Amino acid sequence: MVLVIGAALTPFNRRRDGSGFRDWAAQAFSDALRMAGLEPGDIDALIVSSESDFFTLQLNPASVIAQDIGLCGAETLRVEGGGGSGQYAVHVGVERILSGRAQRVAVLGVDPSASALDGDSIRELYGYSFDFWTDGLSGITATGLYALSWQAFAAEYGAAGTDLDRVATKNRCNACENPGAHLPRKHTAEEFEASPVIASPYKRLHCSPLSDGAAALILSAREAAPAVRQTHAPAITGIGAASDLPGLGHRKSLGRFEAKSLAAKRAYEMAGISASAIDLAEVYDAYAGAELQAIAALGLSADPVAALRDGRFDADGACPINLSGGLIGQGAPVGATGVGQAATCALLLEGRYHKGLQPERPLGHALADTHGGVGTSCAVTVLRAGGQA
C-alpha cells in the first residue's frame, strides 16, 4: 500500500517577486516534508514533473532540484507527458514503492508556465505538443483543437454555451475560497457575453490561465511511514494510464476522451471500486468543456450536462468537481498540475483542506485526472481516505 503522508502546493499565479521555479519547488517540498514528519535524508527517490525545457531552461531539472533540497544521493528522475506530466510522475512514485525499489518517495511538480515565455511563443510551443507534422506546422492552436472536440461532444450531449459558463463560474467561485488560486472570480452573465471569442465557442473566460507554481507529495510504504501517519494518511489505491491517436481527425470519436475512459477503467480495477464510489474529483479543465468531457469519460455521470445543471458537481453537490477551482480557477503551472490535483485530493480526504471548501460529510474515495494533448495521454489516480480497510 502507498500512503500520501505529505502534500503541499505553493500559490498558483504569475510570479512577479523575483523568485524562480527552484524556489517554489523547495518551498513545496519543505511543506510536504514537514507534514510527513520526515527529514530529507529519509527520502529514497525524487520524481520531478516538468513539462517543457523551454519553461525552466533546464534539461535535467531533477538533479538541480535534488541539490537545492538536500537529496543528493537519492535516485532522481524527470517525467514528462505534456499536460499529464504531473499525474504520470505520481504514478512513477507509486510504482517505485510497489516494486520495492524505494520506501519513501518525493514527487515534485513545477513549471514557470506564466513567466518564462511570451504568449505568442507559448501558443506556438503548445501547437508542437500535438502531432508536429499534421497539426504543429499548420499553425492550429490548442484552443482550436479543444473547440473542435467540444463541438462534437456538445452535439452528442445537447450542451450549450451557457454550460461552458456554468463550469467556469463554478470553478472560479470555488477558487474564491482557495487562498492560493490564480483566478478567484464571481462572474456575471454580462461578463461572459462580453468575453472575446478565442476559438468558437470558447471565449477567454472559458480558458484556464498559464500559471507559475509547484506542488509536492511525500509517498511512503505503510511500514516506512511515521507511526502517527500510518493510520490517518490517505492511500493511493489505483493508478491507470492510456493513450489515444494524437490527431483528432484520426479518432473514432472527436468528442469522446476514450483514452481517459480506459485509464479510469484500469485505475478503478486496481482500486477494486467502480466510478460510483468516487466522492469528489479534481479533473483536467484546461477549457470549460474539457471538464464535462472528462466527467463523461471517467464514468462519473452518464449525462454530465444534465448533472451540471442540477448542481451535482457544485461544492455542496453529491460529487464535487474541482473544489480547488481546477485549472480554470486555481491555475495551471503545467508540471505542477497533476501533482497538485493528487495533493488536493489527499488533503480533502484527510480533512486538511481550506475551510470554505472542505466537505463536512465523511469522504471515502477521490479521483485525480490529468491529460496531455486533447485527451491523448491520460492518467488517472484513485485515492482512499485513511483508516479504511
Q: What is the pLDDT of residue 9?
A: 98
Measured distance CA(306)–CA(163) in Å, rounded: 10
- Candidates 18, 26, 383; CA nearest to 215 is 26
pLDDT in tens, 129-181: 777 777 767 778 889 999 999 999 999 999 999 999 999 999 999 999 999 99
Q: What is the pLDDT of residue 123?
A: 75
Measured distance CA(55)–CA(110) in Å, rounded: 10
| CA terminus-to-terminus distance, the chain | 11
Measured distance CA(5)–CA(109) in Å, rounded: 17
Domain of 62, CATH number, reads 3.40.47.10
380, β-bridge pairs: 240, 369
Residue 127 falls within a domain, yes or no? no
CB crowding 23-44: b at 16 or more within 10 Å, else e = bbbbbbbbbbbebbebebebbb
Contacts of 366 (CB under 8 A, 6+ apart): 234, 278, 279, 280, 281, 282, 345, 346, 348, 349, 382, 383
Quote the mean pLDDT of the chain.
95
pLDDT in tens, 215-262: 999 999 999 999 999 989 999 999 999 999 998 888 999 999 999 999
pLDDT in tens, 25-47: 999 999 999 999 999 999 999 99
Q: Which single residue is written with the C-alpha cell 485549472? A: 327
280, β-bridge pairs: 366
The alpha carbon of residue 112 and the mean position of all alpha carbons in its chain are separated, in whole angstroms, by 16
Q: Say if residue 201 is preceded by a cis peptide, omega within 30 of 0.
A: yes
Residue 364 falls within a domain, yes or no? yes
Measured distance CA(342)–CA(316) in Å, rounded: 20
* Mean pLDDT value of segment 92-116: 96
Measured distance CA(310)–CA(289) in Å, rounded: 17
Q: What is the pLDDT of residue 31?
A: 98
Measured distance CA(30)–CA(24) in Å, rounded: 10
Residue 138 falls within a domain, yes or no? no
pLDDT in tens, 316-353: 999 999 999 999 999 999 999 999 999 999 999 999 99
- Candidates 101, 115, 92; CA nearest to 21 is 115
SS3 at position 332 = coil
Residue 263 in contact with residue 242, Cβ under 8 Å?
yes
pLDDT at 122 over 90: no
Output the nine-digit C-alpha cell for 361.
Answer: 460529510
* Mean pLDDT value of segment 11-18: 94
Q: What is the pLDDT of residue 43?
A: 98
Look up the domain containing 52 and give its range.
2-117+210-384
Q: What is the pLDDT of residue 329?
A: 98
Q: What is the pLDDT of residue 389?
A: 52
Residue 148 falls within a domain, yes or no? no
Q: What is the pLDDT of residue 59?
A: 87
Contacts of 31 (CB under 8 A, 6+ apart): 6, 8, 216
* Mean pLDDT value of segment 89-99: 98
- The dihedrals phi and psi of 2, each to the nearest 5 degrees, come to -115, 120
Identity of the amino acid at 54: F
pLDDT in tens, 270-291: 999 999 999 999 999 999 999 9
Residue 154 falls within a domain, yes or no? no
> How many beta carbons lie within 10 A of that of residue 72, not counting itself?
11
Q: What is the pLDDT of residue 388?
A: 65
Q: What is the pLDDT of residue 135?
A: 74
Q: Percent helix, strand and coil across the chain, each rounded to 5?
A: 40, 20, 40
Residue 79 falls within a domain, yes or no? yes
Q: Is the pTM of this model over 0.85?
A: yes
Q: Which single residue is written with the C-alpha cell 513545496? A: 28
Residue 44 falls within a domain, yes or no? yes
Residue 90 falls within a domain, yes or no? yes
Contacts of 231 (CB under 8 A, 6+ apart): 386, 387
Domain count within the chain = 1
